[in-house]
Amino acid sequence: MSRELMFENESAICWKTTVSPNIPLKMHRHDRRRCIVGLSGGTLIKTEEDGTRSDLIFETGRAYWLEADPPDQLHADVNEGAADIVVMVTELKDDADRDGTRDAAAACGCGEAGGGGGRGRA
């Protein structure tokens, strides 16, 4: 996975993420609500800590809204397709970001461009 920071201000942080095929992301959690836009779509396989699997389908040109993950609920993702999945992610900051009480290392989902995000995270 690679991330390119697009912008960050007091209200939001935005980056472009590329998820290459068959390179699993470590267990992590998304602490913020976010909008994801598929730039080059595909399906991520999401695996919860208990082994439950589900598909996250991102169609090219479509936008998706995802709520923050529940506290202490981790998951891993993998692109099992043949091509890169590229998405634009915009996370909305909240009071914990603005007042300095959010752990910067726990601020985003996958551990690059903006932090990690909890125990065992990428």
Least confident range of 15-19, 25-29, 103-107, 117-121: 117-121
CATH of 2-106, one of 2.70.98.10, 3.40.50.720, 2.60.120.10, 3.30.70.580: 2.60.120.10
**110: confidence class by pLDDT, cuts 50, 70, 90:** low
Tell me which residue of 98, 114, 68 sits closest to 106, measured CA to CA: 114
pLDDT tens for 60-100 read 999 999 999 998 899 999 999 999 999 999 999 998 888 87
122 CB-side CA count, 13 A: 22
- Neighbour-count burial of 77, counting CB atoms closer than 10 A to its CB (0-12 exposed, 13-18 middle, 19+ buried): buried
Going from N- to C-terminal start, the domains of the chain cover 2-106
Residue 68's CB is within 10 A of a number of other CB atoms, namely: 15
**Chain center to CA of 38:** 13
Q: What is the pLDDT of residue 117?
A: 40
Among 54-58, 64-68, 104-108, the least confident range: 104-108
The stretch 28-55 carries a mean pLDDT of 97
